[in-house]
Amino acid sequence: MVRPKQADQHPDLPTAIKETARGLIAENGAASLSLRAIARELKITAPAIYNYFPSRDDLVTALIVDAYNSLRDTLLVSQEGDEKSHAERIFSSARTYRNWALMHPEEYSLIFGTPIPNYHAPMEITGPAAAGSMSVLLGVLDAAWRAGALKTEGVLDSTPEMVQAWIDKFSYDGDPAVIQFAMASWAQIHGIVSLELNGHYTAFPKNVSVDSFFEIEIRAMLTRMGLKG
Amino acid sequence: MVRPKQADQHPDLPTAIKETARGLIAENGAASLSLRAIARELKITAPAIYNYFPSRDDLVTALIVDAYNSLRDTLLVSQEGDEKSHAERIFSSARTYRNWALMHPEEYSLIFGTPIPNYHAPMEITGPAAAGSMSVLLGVLDAAWRAGALKTEGVLDSTPEMVQAWIDKFSYDGDPAVIQFAMASWAQIHGIVSLELNGHYTAFPKNVSVDSFFEIEIRAMLTRMGLKG
DNA sequence: TGTACATCAGTGAACGCGCGTTCACTGATGTAC
DNA sequence: TGTACATCAGTGAACGCGCGTTCACTGATGTAC
């Protein structure tokens, strides 16, 4: 009896490694991810992983980049459809962001959660990936503003330091208030999603839906921007 | 030469253990906290810790309870002063919450960050501690509402499931919109603080202040509640 | 004041474990002739 | 079609490490007489 080559069981091993890693992170958290656990799960030996990822940190970096790209792609798809109003587009981006996080909690915690101990993300790789997904969110607001759909008067007395930093970094030539809105909306959505994912909202009987609470908050967000949801 | 007893070097060893633990969490993250590292730092041996904490998990639980209590106490102090208006009280609670988080990032990540792998918080201990600090925040809003300072008309068509769960759990007899406001404000503040602490806002030249961005958001929050900041 | 003794905080060795990473290797596969 | 050989993905043993926890112990301190 000839034992089949392992490759036969995992035609695309690098992908299988990453998928298994995501599964393990979902179970035990990103901090306790280990190459040996991945290998055990895949029924290969740990050194085999080194054929595809030079070290554990490189695997983690690949997972982070994948996560940012997945979020970005999901957001882009949600914006398709020319018939949508600006309010609808913003609304659907917000919903999509939350839904993506709820469906991929392990990836959300990987990019927005507490950093993994002893892992230092190489900014020249994760930076652009992060900017890619964030720029989609900003893009929706910017488009709405350029179409004159956003009320920005009186939002800012002067430009906050952080908003200015963003403007400088990305050479943004629109209204600073759009950046303020973008960062505020992001914080609001992230705040809800983060509390939700870590069980701070639902320490109740369990299975309490956050959906309608979230919808109301997004509507309030749109109202603040001068849009009707 | 008689070697002094270790107890002489650490008159209050349980406290010293917790302080050292907080220091190590600040350095390397809560996920990598180890009894041996604490002992090393204190120049004692690891088993000595077992005289005060029956296991690593019990130490972590103590740290979490301490964190919640510290946050609660800090919030309570910030509310003192009868001369303050409701808007001022809410504003100062928000500021205090953020400042506490910035001054104690290790404790903030302990209670609101990604859970520590293989640690399961005993809800009967951490639950009341969490409720204690959260009820201070809710208390400020509730007081403002009872004084008629909050505009709650039209905020809720119907009561979201999660808001109702809170009302049931804490037998709240006020306006459900107050709970909606409380949870929304908490999410907004937590969102900003969380992004700030994890470096998602300040991946810039570094040292970019979030202060005025935050102030504007709190003011917007007050405006939404019908208060002028 | 002096002696015998109980207390108990902290020690040091040891346990079994899982980890990332290295290394020389094996053996199935594909290629060249 | 058949043989010799190069390739290279995956193996298995080994390394040095740090971890939580247990255990019998030591030795300074406080107490009783």
- Residues B129, B21 within the same domain: no
Residue A3 Cα, gap to closest chain B Cα (Å): 36
The answer, for A220 touching chain B at a CB cutoff of 8 Å, is yes
Of B18, B20, B11, nearest in space to B40 by CA: B20
Confidence (pLDDT) at B8: 52
- Residues A122, A199 within the same domain: yes
Could you give the percent of chain B with pLDDT greater than 70?
A: 94
Judge whether residue B178 has pLDDT over 70: yes
Residue A168 Cα, gap to closest chain B Cα (Å): 10
DSSP label of B115: P
CA angle A196, A197, A202 (to 5 degrees): 45
Which of A54, A73, A91 is where one domain is finished?
A54
Q: Is B217 helix (H, G, I), strand (E, B) or coil?
A: helix
Confidence (pLDDT) at A133: 94
Determine the nucleotide nearest to A11 by Cα–C1' distance: D9
Could you give the percent of chain B with pLDDT greater than 90?
A: 88
Residue B187, H or E segment: helix B176-197
Average pLDDT over residues A183-204: 93
DSSP string covering B35-89: HHHHHHHHTS-GGGGGGT-SSHHHHHHHHHHHHHHHHHHHHHHHT--TT--HHHH
Domain enclosing residue A40, as ranges:
1-54
Work out the pLDDT band at B201, boundaries 50, 70, 90. confident
Confidence (pLDDT) at A2: 36
- Residues A47, A106 within the same domain: no
- Residues A132, A181 within the same domain: yes
Judge whether residue A175 has pLDDT over 90: yes
Q: Do A113 and B198 touch (CB under 8 A)?
A: yes
Judge whether residue B4 has pLDDT over 70: no
* Tens-place pLDDT, residues B89-124: 999 999 999 999 999 999 999 999 999 999 999 999
Query: Across all residues in chain B, what is the average pLDDT?
Result: 93
**Protein-contacted positions of strand D (CB under 7 Å):** 8-13, 18-24, 28-29
Confidence (pLDDT) at B2: 36
**Residue owning tokens 């929304």:** B184
The Cα–Cα gap between B115 and A60 comes to 18
Tokens at B67, concatenated: 């964190």
CA of B81 to C1' of C33 (A): 95
Residues found in chain A: 229
Q: Do A117 and B28 touch (CB under 8 A)?
A: yes
Q: Do A117 and B31 touch (CB under 8 A)?
A: yes
Range with the lowest mean pLDDT among A7-11, A102-106, A138-142, B154-158? A7-11
Q: Give me the residues of A, 94-123, that contact B with CB < 8 A.
A: 109, 112-118, 123
Work out the pLDDT band at A7, boundaries 50, 70, 90. very low
Query: Across all residues in chain A, what is the average pLDDT?
Result: 93
**b/e per residue, A77-94, with b = 16+ CB within 10 A?**
ebbeeeeeebbebbbbbb
Judge whether residue A38 has pLDDT over 60: yes
In a domain, A184, yes or no: yes
CA distances to A25, A114, B109 from B115, rounded to whole Å, are 12, 9, 9
Range with the lowest mean pLDDT among A30-34, A141-145, B83-87, B128-132? B83-87
CA of A111 to C1' of C9 (A): 45
C-beta atoms surrounding A116 within 10 Å: 24
Tokens at A58, concatenated: 């490189």
* Tens-place pLDDT, residues A210-220: 999 999 999 99
Q: What is the CATH number of the domain that holds A30?
A: 1.10.10
Residue A51 Cα, gap to closest chain B Cα (Å): 28
Judge whether residue B7 has pLDDT over 80: no
Work out the pLDDT band at A74, boundaries 50, 70, 90. very high
CA dihedral A145, A151, A157, A158 (to 10 degrees): -10
Work out the pLDDT band at A205, boundaries 50, 70, 90. low
- Residues B179, B197 within the same domain: yes
Q: Do A190 and B188 touch (CB under 8 A)?
A: no
Judge whether residue B5 has pLDDT over 70: no
- Residues A114, A164 within the same domain: yes
C-beta atoms surrounding B128 within 10 Å: 11
Could you give the percent of chain A with pLDDT greater than 70?
A: 94
- Is residue A109 within 8 Å of residue A25, measured between CB atoms? yes
- Residues B8, B119 within the same domain: no
In a domain, B59, yes or no: no
In a domain, A59, yes or no: no
Q: Do B156 and A186 touch (CB under 8 A)?
A: no
Q: Do A112 and B186 touch (CB under 8 A)?
A: no
The Cα–Cα gap between B182 and B168 comes to 15
SS (H, E, C) chain A: CCCCCHHHHCCCHHHHHHHHHHHHHHHHCHHHCCHHHHHHHHCCCHHHHHHCCCCHHHHHHHHHHHHHHHHHHHHHHHHCCCCCCHHHHHHHHHHHHHHHHHHCHHHHHHHHCCCCCCCCCCHHHHHHHHHHHHHHHHHHHHHHHHCCCCCCCCCCCCCCHHHHHHHHHHCCCCCHHHHHHHHHHHHHHHHHHHHHHCCCCCCCCCCCCCHHHHHHHHHHHHHHCCCCC
Judge whether residue A194 has pLDDT over 70: yes
The Cα–Cα gap between B228 and B149 comes to 10
Work out the pLDDT band at B11, boundaries 50, 70, 90. confident
Judge whether residue A197 has pLDDT over 70: yes
- Residues B187, B135 within the same domain: yes
Q: Do A195 and B210 touch (CB under 8 A)?
A: no
Give B156's contacts in chain A (Cβ within 8 Å).
216
Judge whether residue A52 has pLDDT over 50: yes
Q: Which residues does B135 contact at the CB level (< 8 Å), separation at least 6?
A: B170
Q: How many A-B residue pairs are in contact by the CB < 8 A criterion?
A: 164
Judge whether residue A4 has pLDDT over 60: no
Tokens at A157, concatenated: 């007395």
Work out the pLDDT band at A178, boundaries 50, 70, 90. very high
CA of B4 to C1' of D31 (A): 21
- Residues A217, A123 within the same domain: yes
The answer, for A79 touching chain B at a CB cutoff of 8 Å, is no
In a domain, A119, yes or no: yes
Judge whether residue A229 has pLDDT over 70: no
The answer, for B151 touching chain A at a CB cutoff of 8 Å, is no
The Cα–Cα gap between B54 and B58 comes to 6
In a domain, B169, yes or no: yes
Confidence (pLDDT) at A202: 74
Confidence (pLDDT) at A140: 97
- Residues A20, A130 within the same domain: no
**How many domains would you assign to chain B?**
2
In a domain, B229, yes or no: no
Work out the pLDDT band at B84, boundaries 50, 70, 90. confident
Residues found in chain B: 229
**Residue owning tokens 């349980």:** B14
- Is residue A111 within 8 Å of residue A64, measured between CB atoms? yes
- Residues B83, B28 within the same domain: no
Judge whether residue B127 has pLDDT over 80: yes
Segment of B5-14, B63-72, B196-205 carrying the highest mean pLDDT: B63-72
In a domain, A229, yes or no: no
Q: Which of A32, A189, A210 lies at the smallest CB-CB distance from B118?
A: A32
Nearest CA in chain B to A123: B203
Q: What is the CATH number of the domain that holds A126?
A: 1.10.357.10
CA angle A114, A220, B210 (to 5 degrees): 40
Q: Give me the residues of A, 9-48, that contact B with CB < 8 A.
A: 28-32
Average pLDDT over residues A98-125: 96
Judge whether residue A70 has pLDDT over 80: yes
Whole-prediction pTM value? 0.94
Confidence (pLDDT) at B195: 97
Work out the pLDDT band at B1, boundaries 50, 70, 90. very low
Judge whether residue B3 has pLDDT over 50: no
Confidence (pLDDT) at B6: 41
Give A224's contacts in chain B (Cβ within 8 Å).
220, 224
The answer, for B166 touching chain A at a CB cutoff of 8 Å, is yes
The Cα–Cα gap between B118 and B108 comes to 19
CA of A55 to C1' of D4 (A): 37
Work out the pLDDT band at B55, boundaries 50, 70, 90. very high
In a domain, B202, yes or no: yes
Average pLDDT over residues A165-187: 96
The answer, for B125 touching chain A at a CB cutoff of 8 Å, is no
Q: Do B213 and A28 touch (CB under 8 A)?
A: no
- Residues B68, B49 within the same domain: no
- Is residue B38 within 8 Å of residue B62, measured between CB atoms? no
